[in-house]
Structure 1
Amino acid sequence: MHILYNLLVSMLLLVSIPVLLFRLFRETGFGRRLKQSFGFLPEEDLTPVAGKQCIWLHAASVGEIVAASPIVKEIRRQFPARPILVSVVTASGYAMAKRIVPADSIVFFPLDLPWLSRRVVKAILPAAFLLVETELWPNFLYSVRQQNIPVLMVNGRISDRSVGRYRYLGGLLQQMLDTVDRFCMQSTIDAQYIIRLGADPRKVFVTGNTKFDQTYTEALPEEKLALEQELGLDTVGPVVVAGSTHKGEEELLLKAFYQVKKEFPHAGIILAPRDIMRAGEVVQMAREMGFSADKRTVLTKDRVVDVVVLDTIGELGKVYSLGEIVYVGGSLVSHGGHNILEPAAHGKPILVGPHMFNFKDSYALFSGRKACVTVYDGGELAQRMLELLKDSALRETMAAETLKIIGENRGAASKSVEHLQEIMEAKEGKNS
């Protein structure tokens, strides 16, 4: 199975060469990313961590970086002398990590080819490797195992779909799971899933969701005011924020917002498409529907528009603080939803669609305690928006419950680092 996997990865790489070359010439910064993906790490990134018993966290993209951020801060507190390395796969993940993660070095993860993995692991030789959520890479984990480096899965999450997909890996999956020393899972369901896939039950622990511990989205009153002024919203209200939206959702949101404007003429909406490359498309859609609209990066303080389209990376968490109500995208279309904990951290009443299967546990928690409202179509979206905007008492009740849930569920990052300390001490005990 390992040989077949390597053949498939090699074939995919060969097929991708034209696309890689195209991006190399057209996309700013892609050359640096591609070079690192082939294991050539810049000296300034390698020097702070190589051979210095660093702690290495791998988080694929933006969502995983958000989950990793509280863990990095806790590692810094518990292991002040240890350098911290963070690796990512996507450019958006890299930008987010640079923005919110206090690491000594941030790099792009090497392609999962045997010789590349061996080279990078030997060059860095971390004291421990932490994979965030479910970043299982066969060749990399094999190289880590060869160097006797302890491995910890943190904020472990297994979607319903992933359970079926991972089974196709057969013995290769079992090898990867056997490499992991501890599985720190978000929920009981995630723990059951990882055990069903073949993890040793004695290594599996439910530590909670580290995203409850995130603090990078906190906005002081002066920060909030400055952000409102930058977006031209200091004279606008009420404000609706729609985060991580997907194709098919923006039209529903704008139609709902049209109904809101009838009763709140000075209302504004911030739309944050998950793919910021679609920002121009969303602006055009809003204009065609009769709204004044512009991208965040071209707005000036004296320009007031109905629709602000967020086209920046890493800013949405703070932008949530500006909304009277928040809609979290990927949920009125069958994408599986997105993280509701960022707006929850601001104590915001939250609206979502019915497709929240990628965040089933946090969704069940918040909706079960009426801190989150589910809408099933565009008409109900408009109805619920108006209901919340008109009823300040309902908004305050939802906000209070939201903040209560956040407070009750903090602590996953510290629990994860306790497990890290134990597996590192166990390794040191074997070596002494």
Structure 2
Amino acid sequence: MYNAIMYAMQLSIAVYSLFNEKVRRMRKGEREAFSVLREKTDPEAKYIWFHAASLGEFEQGRPLIEQIRKDYPEYKILLTFFSPSGYEVRKNYSGADIITYLPIDTVSNARRFLRTIRPEMAFFIKYEFWYNYLHILRHRGVPVYSVSSIFRPEQIFFKWYGWEYGHVLKCFSRFFVQNEESKQLLGKIGITDVLVVGDTRFDRVLQIKEISQALPIIESFANGAKVFVVGSSWLPDEEIILQYFNNCSDWKIILAPHLIDEGHLSQITNLLGNRRTVRYTQTNEQAAREAEVLIVDCFGLLSSIYKYGDIAYVGGGFGAGIHNLLEAAVWGLPVIFGPNNARFAEAKGLVEAGGGFEIYNYDSFAQTIDSLLADESFLAQSSEAAKRYVSQQSGATRKVLSNIQL
């Protein structure tokens, strides 16, 4: 059944690629993967393979990749992606020796792939459970680790109808999971080589903080004022936030939307009314200093922008799910977010720590902001709580490395 699904997926990708540029890039990359491996693989080298579905999973695995590269330079790194949103952004990442797409998980693809690269060990980040690749790795005696994985009762592995596919989990040598619930769930199906180490994303955001870039335009815009940073926002987020802050002129707003196409930027501009607004790519330091709102119409700056803020809102919670809360929290910004956050342990953790605030509508947003703005000591306590939460949850990378054989 699984293999039939893989072949059907392969066919669907081929058809859908005729109409979608993103899927077309993915299909092209998968078909070229074997050529990349043949060209770049050093037959005398020892490879460690990291697989990440997309960009978010890569960021979770990145601290581990870079620590291994530093401590064990005798190994080379193979990095694979499934999604174009990971590969296209990180295809030139200097921390890996070979970067490519991972071909669809058919038996023939898996055999051919592993015959070419012959990894010494493999790391699958978070949710990646490719049946054929994993079974062949186990058959060959290659250690395989699942890193920053998290399990929930509703997943197929824990349903009566998912027992057959659940065998794929027995291909892993060890699981490094985020929480105790995951360990208990795995134990119920007979998997006991499980260590609770937390989430390597905390290590990653601390790394990002250390190498954050100075942004003169953002610094000029802030200029000692109170700054509310809106990160990865969608229209439902922006409608709530701007309704409030259009009547709160003593705060400046930095708004970095998730989508930066002209249609969405025009919607934001319409919501802002008469507030003095500039775009990051179209302004200078002098104009930014005099503006009330700065719209970030480019990517790659948000993690550094947060350091100029006092409070943050992270978008997505009124849609598919919240974006990266930790990039804001690491700078000691109290973080506000929408209600679709149940799948994100850091949201619950920040709320419990006192550094995060869940909102449901305009009224709850206004109440939360009013509380933070009315009491400077409460704002300071929330800020410290957010920063402390990230610091206390770090260290997963070190725990993983101390429990594998290299």
Deviation for aligned residue 1:79: 1.4
* 1:135 and 2:135 correspond: no
TM-score by length of 2: 0.86
Equivalent position of 1:37 in the other structure: 30
Distance change (3 Å), C-alpha of 1:219 and 1:256: farther
Contact 1:99/1:314 (8 A) holds in 2: no
Counterpart in 2 of 1:398?
A: 382
1:214-293 maps to which residues of 2 (within 5 A)? Answer: 214=204, 215-218=206-209, 223-226=213-216, 228=218, 233-235=221-223, 237-261=225-249, 264=250, 267-273=252-258, 276=259, 279-289=261-271, 290=273
**Contact (CA 8 Å) 2:110, 2:136: kept in 1 or not?**
yes
C-alpha offsets along residues 305-328 of structure 1, whole Å, 9 cap, x if unaligned? 655444544432222222211112
Q: Percent identity?
A: 24
Q: Structure 2 vs 1, CA of residues 416 and 199 (structure 1 numbering), >3 Å: closer, same or farther?
A: farther
Gaps of 5+ in 2: none
Please state whether the residue corresponding to 1:149 is helix, strand or coil.
coil
Corresponding residue of 2:19: 22
Of 338, 343, 360, which aligns to 2:323?
338
Question: Which is further off, 344-353 or 39-48?
Answer: 39-48
Residues 11, 99 of structure 1: alpha-carbon distance in 2 compared, 3 angstrom cutoff: closer
Decide which of 51, 60, 68 is 2:61's aligned counterpart.
68
Contact 2:65 2:95 in 1 (8 A): yes
Deviation (angstroms), 1:189: 1.6
* Matches of 2:160 and 2:86, distance apart in 1: 28
d(CA) in 2 for partners of 1:91, 1:99: 13
Do the aligned partners of residues 288 and 313 (structure 1) sit closer, same or farther apart at CA in structure 2, a change above 3 Å counting? closer
**RCO greater where, 1 or 2, for CA within 8 Å and sep 6 or more?**
1
Structure 2 residue matching 1:393: 3-state secondary structure = helix
Q: Residues 404 and 46 (structure 1 numbering): CA distance in 2 closer, same or farther, change over 3 Å?
A: farther
Following the alignment from structure 1 to structure 2, what is the Cα–Cα distance between the partners of residues 100 and 160?
A: 36
Q: Distance in 2 between matches of 1:15 and 1:220?
A: 41
Q: Distance in 2 between matches of 1:379 and 1:49?
A: 60
Q: Which residue pairs with 1:427 in the alignment?
A: none
How has the CA–CA distance of structure 1 residues 354 and 40 changed in structure 2, closer, same or farther, with 3 Å as cutoff?
Answer: closer
RMSD across aligned C-alpha pairs, in angstroms?
Answer: 3.0
Q: Distance in 2 between matches of 1:256 and 1:51?
A: 62
Tell me the CA shift for residue 64 of structure 1.
0.9
| Alpha-carbon distance, 1:302 to partner | 5.3
3-state secondary structure, aligned to 2:327: helix
1:243 CA drift (Å):
2.3
Letter paired with 2:230: A
Cα distance in 1 for residues equivalent to 2:328 and 2:92: 18
Code of the residue aligned with 1:253 in structure 2: it is I
- The aligned length equals 401
The counterpart of 1:205, out of the listed 185, 191, 195, is 195
- The gaps in structure 1 that reach 5 residues or longer are 425-432
Asked if 1:347 is matched to 2:332, the reply is: yes
Alignment CA distance shift 1:47-1:415 (3 Å): same
Return the alpha-carbon distance in structure 1 between the equivalents of residues 337 and 296 of structure 2: 19
